[in-house]
Amino acid sequence: MGYNTPVAHRRNGEMEPMRLKTTLLVNLLLAAGLLLSACQTPTPLPTATTPAATATLQPSPTPTPLPRTFTICLGQEPASLYLYASSTRSTWSVLEAVYDGPIDTRQYTPQPVILEKLPALADGDASYAPVDVAFGDDVVDVDGNLVPLVAGVRVLPSGCGDSSCAVAWDGTSLLQMDALTLRYRLLPGLTWSDGAPLTAADSVYSWQVSADDATPVTRTLLERTASYTALDEQTVAWISVPGYISQDFAEAFWVPLPQHAWGKYTPAELLAAEEVNRKPLGWGAFYIEEWVAGDHITLRRNPHYFRAAEGLPNFDVLVYRFLGDTGDANLAALEIGECDLVDSTVNLTGDLLSALQLEQQGVIRTYNGLGPEWEHLDFGIQPASYDDGYAPFYGDRADFFSDVRVRQAFELCLDRQGLIKNQLFSYTLVPVGYYPPGHPRHVGGEATAFDPAAGSALLDQAGWKDYDNNSATPRTAAGVKGVTDGTPLAVTYYTTTATLSQAAGLHFSLSLAQCGIQATVQPLTAGQLYAAGPEGPLFGRKFDLAQFAWQSSAVSPCFLYTTEQIPTAENRWLGTNVTGFSSAEYDAACQSARQPAPGVDPVAADREAQMLFDELLPVVPLYYRLKVAASRPDLCGYTLDVSARSSLWNLEAMDYAEGCP
């Protein structure tokens, strides 16, 4: 019965008059319909062979499945996604979705992604060949420095592999030196996310952009590049400046940029172009759909992705959310399902205990790894004010640290193991050398233990006496060379305003006090601590103690403490050796580790450099920085490889719930 069909209501067993009239009318209409149908040919019932039957038996349309979405919470919103404008960890966490490779690092070993292979001497796509050099040409000298060739410059002539056969050029003789050639071949059929072909010319274009003076990039490799050319649509060739020796054959391939889309801009204009900084074209698993400042970036599956035939990526939509870098807010979002993964760019270290408790409850899953960043305490061995001669009577700070025994005493008086236990729940280690465990050049062994008695004995030997045996007052100088007797062993300890850094500073100041060392902790913002020289405390070389971090790399980071890297007015305060430490023996060992001659084992050379580093102690390694990430408990495919530029290096292969094995 339809919703508008009247229903008869009875009153005393009889139908109401209105309802009776309606019923009679309906009966008359039904009778008329029957008479009309009797005068027509009956319509046959549909059979399996008639069109009507076919239409009736068609299946109902399958509902369109909802797009699968994966949400990642980042610690910071990127300032830009243009790789020559920003190279932060949060930038690369997003760019891992836009670019796949071109070369990934796995367990500190480079792996080609969009290249057929990496060059190798045995395969012929890496080779050294002699080239003629003349007066004024750029060459790399025997010490690895880029210099113009003039009389007296010591170089390795062609066929010479180490300093034993180096020559000082006389300024007139014919001279040949070896240049390195590396050839890289792209996979066939690569395209940009807009469908345009990706070719070797795009990598050459990227090199040209990076080489422009307007592009703010490190110029070390650029300056050692003689040429970078496309040999065909898939192949590029890099040729070094004569004399340059490298063991890192992955370093000289430039990340392609889309010349067809960006060639209309100058390199300076690229730094400000909206499409370049906010929606860069890539060849990876996703392309950027929108960026809502301060909130999120949304990406969608790239239909032109070169691994699409493998069913990758596993998600249709990728969202990056910005909830700040504090762990508590991100863990809360993960717990209620607003995030599927909290990236390692979030500072989860300070909330590690909370994260571990949630994991024990089965609510989340955590991941951790050591380094490659390592926190260290640097000594102001040679402040910039000493460069024109040490003059304590004219305002120069007392020479606390030129005596290696004092530096060794500080190491013994720093309770590094205690900090790791109390603040980091024993999840990290005190570094030995400058490589973390798992790195092929990690030296192993035990770090120096906290021993205030031994540290105090060394300080006594060095002339710093504790006459009152009172930890509340510092030791004083008594016969220390160049230091006025009675000078207190009182230093300023710079660190950052990060919670863990301030806690470390306080912890170490208390342990140093047990040896009669007074260390006053002064937290600085990152902008203050890392300000350019000569004003900045680090790069202006005007500090007593400073705690910060460097990152290990595939090639030895020993260069961080070479004489060449001391920031000075002559090099515009550009250098990493802010301690002012200088050792010819260490410099030579580091040079062999970074640019080993043919037949020289770079690992053995690096071990020698690390042994000298541990003995001469320009800095005290404190702890490997702990990387922590967290996810929903059913995530699969995620691996926190600390050697990768981002923990999202294999984003396209991640999955959850029913997508996991």
Nearby residues of 341 by Cβ (< 8 Å), 6 or more positions away: 70, 71, 72, 73, 334, 629, 630, 631, 632, 635, 638, 654
Question: Cβ(500)–Cβ(509) under 8 Å?
Answer: no
- Residue 192: pLDDT band with limits 50, 70, 90: very high
Q: What is the CATH number of domain 106-276?
A: 3.90.76.10
Q: Is it the case that residue 443 has pLDDT exceeding 60?
A: yes
Q: Is it the case that residue 302 has pLDDT exceeding 70?
A: yes
Domain definitions of the chain by residue range: 67-100+284-364+632-661, 106-276, 372-554+619-625
- pLDDT at position 65 is 74
Q: Is it the case that residue 36 has pLDDT exceeding 60?
A: no
The closest of 63, 99, 363 to 256, measured between CA atoms, is: 99
Q: Give the span between the Cα atoms of 466 and 516, in whole angstroms.
A: 7
The residue type at 371: G
Torsion of CA 607, 609, 615, 616, to 10 degrees: -170
Q: Is it the case that residue 3 has pLDDT exceeding 50?
A: no
pTM of the model: 0.80
**In this structure, which topology does domain 67-100+284-364+632-661 adopt according to CATH?**
D-Maltodextrin-Binding Protein; domain 2 (3.40.190)
Of 3.40.1010.10, 3.10.105.10, 3.30.70.1520, 3.40.50.970, the CATH number of 372-554+619-625 is: 3.10.105.10
Structure tokens at 500: 């863990």
The reply to whether omega before 59 is within 30° of 0 (cis) is no
* Span 457-480, pLDDT tens digits: 999 999 999 998 887 899 999 999
The secondary element (H helix, E strand) that includes residue 178 is strand 175-185
Question: 3-state class of 47 per DSSP?
Answer: coil
Structure tokens at 26: 């309906």
Would you tell me how many other CB atoms lie within 10 Å of the CB of residue 206? 21
Please tell me what DSSP assigns to residue 79. Answer: S
- Residue 548: pLDDT band with limits 50, 70, 90: very high
* Span 117-153, pLDDT tens digits: 999 999 999 999 999 999 999 999 988 889 999 999 9
Q: Give the span between the Cα atoms of 6 and 634, in whole angstroms.
A: 58
Q: What is the mean pLDDT of residues 359-384?
A: 95
Q: What is the mean pLDDT of residues 168-188?
A: 97
Same fold, 106-276 and 372-554+619-625: no
Distance (Å) of CA 470 to CA 413, 476, 477, 481, 607? 16, 12, 15, 24, 41
Q: Is it the case that residue 18 has pLDDT exceeding 50?
A: no
- pLDDT at position 45 is 33
DSSP per-residue letters across 115-147: BS----GGGTSEEEEEEEE-TT-EEE-TTS-EE
- pLDDT at position 596 is 72
Using alpha carbons only, give the angle 269, 272, 278 rounded to the nearest 5 degrees.
125
Q: Give Cα 537 distance to the centre of its chain.
A: 25
The residue type at 586: Y
Structure tokens at 460: 């006594």
Q: Give the span between the Cα atoms of 334 and 340, in whole angstroms.
A: 6
The reply to whether omega before 621 is within 30° of 0 (cis) is no
Q: What is the mean pLDDT of residues 165-171?
A: 95
Question: Cβ(268)–Cβ(210) under 8 Å?
Answer: no
Q: What is the mean pLDDT of residues 305-313?
A: 97
DSSP per-residue letters across 540-580: TT--SEEEEEEE--SS-GGGGGSGGG---TTTTT--S-TT-
Question: 3-state class of 481 per DSSP?
Answer: coil
* Span 638-652, pLDDT tens digits: 999 999 999 999 999
Which has the higher per-residue pLDDT, 35 or 119?
Answer: 119
Query: Over the chain, what is the mean pLDDT?
Result: 89
The closest of 598, 393, 379, 387 to 483, measured between CA atoms, is: 393
Please tell me what DSSP assigns to residue 591. Answer: H
Q: Give the span between the Cα atoms of 627 and 643, in whole angstroms.
A: 11
* Span 56-78, pLDDT tens digits: 556 666 667 789 999 999 999 99
- Residue 438: pLDDT band with limits 50, 70, 90: confident
* Span 579-606, pLDDT tens digits: 999 999 999 888 888 877 666 777 888 8
- pLDDT at position 521 is 98
Q: Is it the case that residue 509 has pLDDT exceeding 80?
A: yes
Using alpha carbons only, give the angle 603, 607, 609 rounded to the nearest 5 degrees.
115
* Span 246-257, pLDDT tens digits: 888 999 999 999
Buried/exposed code over 362-371 (b: 16+ C-beta within 10 A; e: otherwise): ebbbbbbbbb
Which has the higher per-residue pLDDT, 574 or 518?
Answer: 518
- Residue 658: pLDDT band with limits 50, 70, 90: very high
Q: Is it the case that residue 400 has pLDDT exceeding 80?
A: yes
Structure tokens at 242: 């004569």
The residue type at 262: W
- pLDDT at position 517 is 97
